[in-house]
Amino acid sequence: MKIIITGSHGFIAKAILPTLENKGHNIFKLVRSATNLKPDERFWDPYRRELDPHTVEGVDAVIHLAGESIAEGRWTPTKKQRIIDTRTIPTRFLAETLAASARPPKVFVCASAIGYYGDRGEELLTEESSPGTDFLANVCREWEVATVPAAVKGIRIVNLRFGLILSPSGGALAKLLLPFKFGVGGRLGSGKQYWSWIAIDDVIGAIHHALMNENVRGPVNIVAPHPVTNNEFTKILGGVLSRPTMFPAPSFALRLALGEMADALLLSSANIKPNRLISTGYTFRFTQLNDALTALLSQS
């Protein structure tokens, strides 16, 4: 397939690019610098609405992974606006550009997140569940709505609702490893909140599954089948590292250090099942957290 990808400097894109290339796909990266373009790069500036329409002509698929990190820096009003704008503006522009193409791609795979559901306690959530009402839920809802122009054109849309992605080279796990390796890790808050996780290997597999399987469309929960509570996550991670987990971080301390981000990313609960992946025949490499962490940390 001929595939265009955005966000190529992010850790998800860096993980999936070698797999796509090894499978024989022809990859082109959309980048925001027009100078010194490499042969596999194409320039775009979604904020100035600049993208040569010929770039998307005859492309089979688009994977859109670009967006401001939600885990770097406090959520000031300016930061929150960037989180919204870097998701909705490029997504809508790309969707409109694809819709205007004489030969549009067959599939538009766009990042989203399980933040769509908000803080839901022990409630079992699937792709059919209603959205939450907090900041991240609103961001994810607007993010997914921004793909609508491409859907109206008849392009198959896949909204990847990523859970907690486990990779030693990036994301939450990389940040957790340091205190746990020094034996000062512990549960966050009450520890009762559900963390719906997925190994980076299955993120790669699920995205490729979404590209190749025409039955995959709409929102897709990119999580493993067996979510765990933060307390369970803590104990398993400590066990894999052979370290104690006796230093809990109280909710008030996390809120003091991180502000609103603490509630949204660390203390909220989302007990999520990947129904759409399962129903369309995706086979997970890792279904149990202990197996995933053991394999991933052996690579670090």
167-211 pLDDT, tens digit per residue, is 988 888 888 898 999 999 999 999 999 999 999 999 999 999 999
- pLDDT at site 294: 97
* Cβ burial 231-252 (10 Å sphere, 16+ → b, else e): bbbbbbbbebbebebeebbebe
Q: What is the mean pLDDT of the chain?
A: 96
pLDDT at 13: 96
The tens digit of pLDDT for each residue in 143-172 reads: 999 999 999 999 999 999 999 999 988 888
- Can you list the domains of the chain with their CATH numbers? 2-299 (3.40.50.720)
The residue ranges of the chain whose pLDDT is under 70 are 300
pTM of the full structure? 0.96
In angstroms, the CA 68 to CA 78 distance is: 12
Spatial separation of the C-alpha atoms in residues 270 and 124, rounded to whole Å: 8
